[in-house]
Amino acid sequence: MRVALVVNGEPLEAEIWEGESLLYTLREHLGLPGSKNACEQGECGSCSVLLDGQLVCACLVLAAQADGHEILTVEGLGSDGELHPVQEAFAATGAVQCGFCTPGLVMATVDLLARVPEPSDDEIREALSGNLCRCTGYAKIFDAVRLAAGT
Ligand code: FES
Ligand code: FES
């Protein structure tokens, strides 16, 4: 089947298998490997994207379900060659180790700060609870969120 998506503001189409995940479509058909593929079962958050403004695990959404919808991936955050402030904050605080979890954490942080501009530590913990960092660098990730929030 064919799907038409708006990805990072750009209308894109892909020929897909009906059972294929949105994550697979983004990575393998649309040339957007920023969303990472780790568990493929909604456990790690490394594939997090915004679907019509809602944070979702792209591995749990069928590409067919996203047909006609808007998706924002980590590739779409920056503009004019500049990083998004949340990406800047992750880099500035050293919150990136191997970096595998980073795109998902950045997307979860963007989602959090859009909803709660000055989150408490508990609100940060809750918002990032679906994102696993195998390098266990959570202290610096918290620093990054606080820096991005200006708190
Ligand atoms: S790859 Fe989607 S939650 Fe882990
Ligand atoms: S920085 Fe390596 S998994 Fe988080």
Q: Check residue 55 and give its pLDDT.
A: 98
In this prediction, what percent of the chain has a pLDDT beyond 70?
A: 100
The residue with tokens 């079962």 is: 41
Span from the CA of 108 to the centroid of ligand 2 (angstroms): 15
Ligand at shortest distance from the CA of 98? 2
Q: Which atom of ligand 2 is least distant from the CA of 99? A: 1
Q: Check residue 91 and give its pLDDT.
A: 97
Residues 6+ positions from 103 with CB-CB distance below 8 Å: 34, 35, 36, 46, 48, 73, 74
Q: Are 90 and 106 in contact (CB under 8 A)?
A: yes
Chain-centre distance of CA 129, in angstroms? 14
Q: Check residue 136 and give its pLDDT.
A: 82
- The backbone region for 40, taken as left when phi is positive above 0, alpha when psi lies in -120 to 50, beta otherwise, is left
In the structure, which protein residues have their CB atom closer than 6 angstroms to any atom of ligand 2? Answer: 96-101, 133-135, 137
User: Rounded to the nearest 5°, which phi and psi values hold at 76?
Assistant: -95, 5
Q: Is 134 in the pocket of ligand 1 (CB under 6 A)?
A: no
Pocket of ligand 2, candidates 48, 101, 106, 142: which has the most ligand atoms within 8 Å of its Cβ, to mutate?
Answer: 101
Q: Is 39 in the pocket of ligand 1 (CB under 6 A)?
A: yes
Q: Check residue 104 and give its pLDDT.
A: 98
pLDDT tens digits for range 60-109? 999 999 999 999 999 999 999 999 999 999 999 999 999 999 999 999 99
Share the mean pLDDT of the chain: 97
